Amino acid sequence: MGVSARALATIAALTGVAVLAAGCSNDEVKPKWTGTDASGGGPSASASAELPKAAFAAPTDGASDVSTATELSLQATPGANAQVSLTDASGATVAGGLRPDGTTWVPAAQLKYGTQYTATVSSAGDTAGKKITFTTMAKPGKTVNVSTGISDNKTYGVAMPIVVRFGSSVPQELRASVEKRLLVTADPPQVGTWHWFNGGEIHYRPKEYWTTGTKINVRLAVGGLQLTKTGWGTKDVTSTFSIGDKIVMTTDDKTHQMTVEQNGQVVKTIPVSLGKAKTPSSSGHMVVMDKNQSELFVGTDPDDPYRETVYWTQRMTSGGEYIHSAPWSVDSQGKRNVSHGCTNVSESNAKFLYNLTKIGDIVIVKNTPRKLAWGNGWTDWDKSWDEYVKGSALPPQTATASPSGSAPASASASGSASAPAA
């Protein structure tokens, strides 16, 4: 399978193009202008007739029961010359924009149920344009919730995946149409893709870590979209967030040390104690999923019970591996492994890390006897890009800067959380 969600593009209306021809030593060369006004020359009537004329491929004129997640598909590809407008039954204009390839026009928000719309498309070859009317579907009896755990206007780490969860499993045959409606825009633009972990959960990550300072808009444009054989999306979901400093925590079990980097510079080296032989820590690329000043850790193994309030916690896996303060193991930190799978650090170092890091920061653990299980947390960075894109139903695409008129959405944890390992 290919991969990713396509972003909307702004329609750039060209009313005239200035072409200046000049030579350094030829005063006879005059500026030449082409435009649409009478004085500028513009294209002749015969030339305009030869230009591609845009028309709607779907919906068809008079169509009924149209999805409120519909896009207006064009029969021709007139590029920037295409002008699309959409109005509802009251005459109110609906905002939207063309996709980058110019094949469809996407409304910036879910259309209303049971409403008649009028759409018009014109182009340089057909200024009169083509007009259609269509009526959207009635509100469906069964709807499916779509959710994301990303908080609006929050700053996340450079490894932050966009995690989307569906209330019912999306069947294989519908995943491409669903993925196409999961819209990500980024400024600056970065190549990225979606990856289906299962029918109920899909993640988005860029090819490389997000660039510090990136502004990201997400729109899960699924309101009225068929998600299962009998269920349709309840509503669109939107979110806007930013990417902060690049924090990378790298722990090597051979040295029992964690190296902490901020924007490429080492800021601290911290002694650690990882999981003992019976409960080894996982090696792989993990992401900080959650942070708390304190949590109650309760062991589930009757042969090795524990019940402890632990401070300055940062969760790395759904299975319960954390970075946290462990004053009881300070003598072992930097020397030997005594934990139940967590990364034990001193209280002062745990507090330092807690104050430095964000949800979405990357954690790399090396040389432990256990490999990180795929899906045990936000494991998106534990596969190469070539492998990751195979989990998508569409090809990868650049998440462009947010277009005007488009509405932006987002994430939650992968899998269910298990008891923490102290």
* CATH code for the domain of 192: 2.40.440.10
Our count of domains for the chain comes to 2
Q: Do residue 235 and residue 151 come from a single domain?
A: yes
What is the mean pLDDT of the segment spanning 326-346? 97
Distance CA 337, CA 272 (A): 8
pTM over 0.75: yes
pLDDT at site 398: 75
Q: Which residues are marked as active site? A: 324, 342
Regarding whether 231 and 116 lie in a shared domain, the answer is: no
Residue 371 domain flag:
yes
Q: Which amino acid is at 20?
A: L
User: Which of 83, 107, 136 finishes a domain?
Assistant: 136
Q: Which residues of 303-315 are buried (b: 16+ CB within 10 A; e: fewer)?
A: eeeeeeebbbbbb
DSSP H/E element including 353:
helix 347-356
Is residue 21 a part of any domain in this protein? no
Same domain for 243 and 337, yes or no, is yes
Kindly state the average pLDDT of the residues 53-66.
Answer: 94
Q: Are residues 283 and 370 in the same domain?
A: yes
Residues 6+ apart with CB under 8 A from 47: none
Instruction: Look at residue 345 in the predicted model and tell me its pLDDT.
Output: 98
Q: Label residue 7 by pLDDT band (50, 70, 90).
A: very low
What is the tens place of the pLDDT at every residue in 133-189?
Answer: 999 999 999 999 999 999 999 999 999 999 999 999 999 999 999 999 999 999 999
Residue 405 CA, chain-centre distance (Å), reads 19
Say yes or no: 130 and 172 in one domain.
Answer: no
Same domain as 120, residue 168: no
pLDDT (0 to 100) of residue 37: 35
Residue 392 structural domain: 140-422
The more confident residue out of 46 and 270 is 270
Q: Are residues 110 and 210 in the same domain?
A: no
Q: Considering only 126-130, 191-195, 197-201, which range has the smallest mean pLDDT?
A: 126-130
Distance CA 324, CA 246 (A): 20
Note whether residue 397 is domain-resident: yes
In DSSP notation, 45-113 reads HHHHHHS----EEESPTTEEEE-TT--EEESS--GGG-EEEEE-TT-PBPPEEE-TTSSEEEESSPPPT
Q: Which residue has the higher pLDDT, 105 or 32?
A: 105
pLDDT at 17: 28
What Rg value do the Cα atoms of the chain yield, rounded? 27
pLDDT at 81: 72
Same domain, 277 and 420: yes
Count of helices and strands (H, E) across the chain? 4, 31
Supply the mean pLDDT for the chain: 85
Choose the final residue of a domain: 113, 136, 159. Answer: 136
Contact partners, residue 409, CB within 8 Å, separation at least 6: 148, 150, 182, 183, 217, 218, 219, 220, 236, 237, 238, 239
Would you state the structure tokens that stand for residue 299, as one six-digit string?
């062991």
On whether residue 329 sits in a domain, the answer given is yes
The single-letter code of the amino acid at 146 is V
Are 257 and 129 within one domain? no
Query: Could you tell me if 124 and 179 lie in one domain?
Result: no
181 & 49 share domain: no
**Residue 20 domain-assigned (yes or no):** no
Token pair of 268 as six digits: 């601290």
Domain boundary residue among 111, 136, 161?
136
Q: What is the pLDDT of residue 298?
A: 82
For residues 196-204, give the mean pLDDT.
98
Share of the chain above pLDDT 70, in %: 81
Give domain status of residue 14, yes or no: no
Same domain, 173 and 84: no
Could you read off the pLDDT of 34-52 as tens digits, one per residue? 233 333 334 444 444 456 6
For 71-80, 88-97, 181-190, which range has the lowest pLDDT when averaged over its residues?
A: 71-80
How many other CB atoms sit within 10 Å of the CB of residue 270? Answer: 22
Alpha-carbon gap, residue 362 to 358, rounded angstroms: 9
What is the reported pLDDT for 287? 98
100: domain CATH number? 2.60.40.3780
Q: Would 7 be classed as within a structural domain? A: no
Residue 156, phi then psi, degrees to nearest 5: -120, 170
Q: Is residue 421 part of a domain?
A: yes
Q: What is the per-residue pLDDT across 96-134, written as a single tens digit (0 to 9) for each?
A: 999 888 889 999 999 999 999 999 998 877 777 899 999
